[in-house]
Chains A and B, each alone.
Chain A
């Protein structure tokens, strides 16, 4: 369970996040909202890239004081809108770099790494140089990076951006299996409402930096406020 409490972020005079609070307890939850609503800002605050007031805790453990890299070592993983894998490293080394900062025996780490490679069907291609991968393969490696090193919270920022329908379905299926594989809670930001509906049990909707709805995904998507703000359907007065 990850709890966000009263998160506030200001960029000069612009309020980017206005008192956001939510408690995610489902294996996979979503964060949706129109462009510029504050979804990525929320993710940046949770991962320690942006300072904010308020509190972030996981199972009662306060992680607000940790810096960004310390949060990764603690168990927070994230991807970016544009995948961030290093071209001059092999697929295996792109995963190993996360394990480098985490305690554990060599054999345990190797098994962890092989499990993540198997998950994305890369068991035979671990030594491939990342530069030679296509965009979907890079996205898969980016996801596998989030699975190693005993993650507690995994966040994906538009993981299906630019993918075909088939790839999106496959990636959605993989995300659904992450909880069982790692025991981590997953948060997904995406514009694809169908994907969110399919894989997220809980959803937080943000607009203009404010929480406008939070709860069970199906109910949230039926909320007139959400439909007005996000889906472009006029709110019933």
Chain B
């Protein structure tokens, strides 16, 4: 399969961050970048649904919470290796996403977005009521105070190695999306985006391929949540509020939903920028103002987001030099 220029750039970027980030980042910053990588993976799922199918899902961070919950539940309930728990968390989230999305799949546009937002609200209520498992007994597994230890992958027990581990999984996630884009599902999604009539006239089972997209996006959200659980060892329901799903969608638009770089920018804006503000002694909530301005900028002048602008700039420079 032919690797595109964007693909080569993605591989190079992965290698650079894989080698450089753990070397230059220390202490808390390793965790900040790990968290940014987890959210990048989730954003990749949001962005491909939006750019390839024109579908707006406002429930992906909530699904991430489901992935995190299953991961913690598996970690504290069983002795399986990290990877098995990760696969189970991703699969359960994918199925969960499907069940939530099925009634919505015959809908389009605003209605679909509203249903996913309602689902996110439902998940928020459950997670904030029952909280995340931390080694307690019973189905919900919540201890009142201290938490039981979390088992990370055998090959990535330190924070730095775990960051590298997450970077590799995120790269695999991007590759998975790209493989889909080039195969029958990608073609079907492009026709659905053109119009459902065009898709039907192309022999495409629209509900099936929309469900497939939701499944893939749910899988990525589940992976992101499970990896975040592995980074922090315990999770807080405030991370997965419905409003966070809206915020991440907005940042996917700001970053640019057509390119992998857009998801990376969204992940960095969402996690690294507030950490930087904290580091400088500024109020992290100021980032919300910046996000708002960036969203307006994207909507008014840069429909392909910051990544689209960067790519346009680079191709113009290349044209000028040739």
Contact = CB atoms under 8 A, between A and B. Distances in A.
Interface of A: 47-49, 68-70, 72-73, 77-80, 84-89, 93, 96-98, 100-102, 145, 149
Given A73-B203, A98-B202, A145-B202, A86 B191 contact: yes
B177 to A, nearest CB: 14
A96 B187 contact: yes
A52 B54 CA distance: 30
B165 to A, nearest CB: 33
Nearest to B199: A69
A54 to B, nearest CB: 20
Interface residues on B, range: 10 to 19
B195 interface: yes
Given A97-B190, A100-B187, A100-B188, A84 B204 contact: no
A87 B193 CA distance: 10
A97 B187 contact: yes
Contacts of B193: 86, 88
A84 B201 contact: yes
B234 interface: no
Contact of A97 (B52, B195, B204, B205): B204
B187 A69 contact: no
A89 B199 CA distance: 13
B53 to A, nearest CB: 11
Contacts of A101: 202-205
A38 B269 CA distance: 54
B201 A47 contact: yes
B106 interface: no
A222 to B, nearest CB: 35
B309 to A, nearest CB: 19
A77 B201 CA distance: 7
B197 A84 contact: yes
Contacts of A47: 200-201
Contacts of B190: 86, 88-89, 93, 97
B187 A80 contact: no
Given A69-B203, A69-B205, A85 B197 contact: no
A87 B205 contact: no
B198 A86 contact: yes
Contacts of B191: 86, 89, 97
Nearest to B192: A86
Interface in B106-139: none
Contact of B200 (A49, A79, A88): A49
A102 B205 CA distance: 12
10 contacts: A49-B197, A69-B202, A69-B206, A72-B202, A80-B197, A88-B190, A97-B187, A98-B202, A100-B203, A101-B205
Interface in B22-64: 52
Nearest to B258: A88
In order of increasing CB-CB distance, the 5 nearest A-B pairs are A84-B198, A72-B203, A101-B203, A97-B187, A68-B200
Nearest to B51: A88
A97 B202 contact: yes
Contacts of B198: 80, 84-86
Nearest to B195: A84
A123 B69 CA distance: 53
Contacts of B203: 69-70, 72-73, 98, 100-102, 149
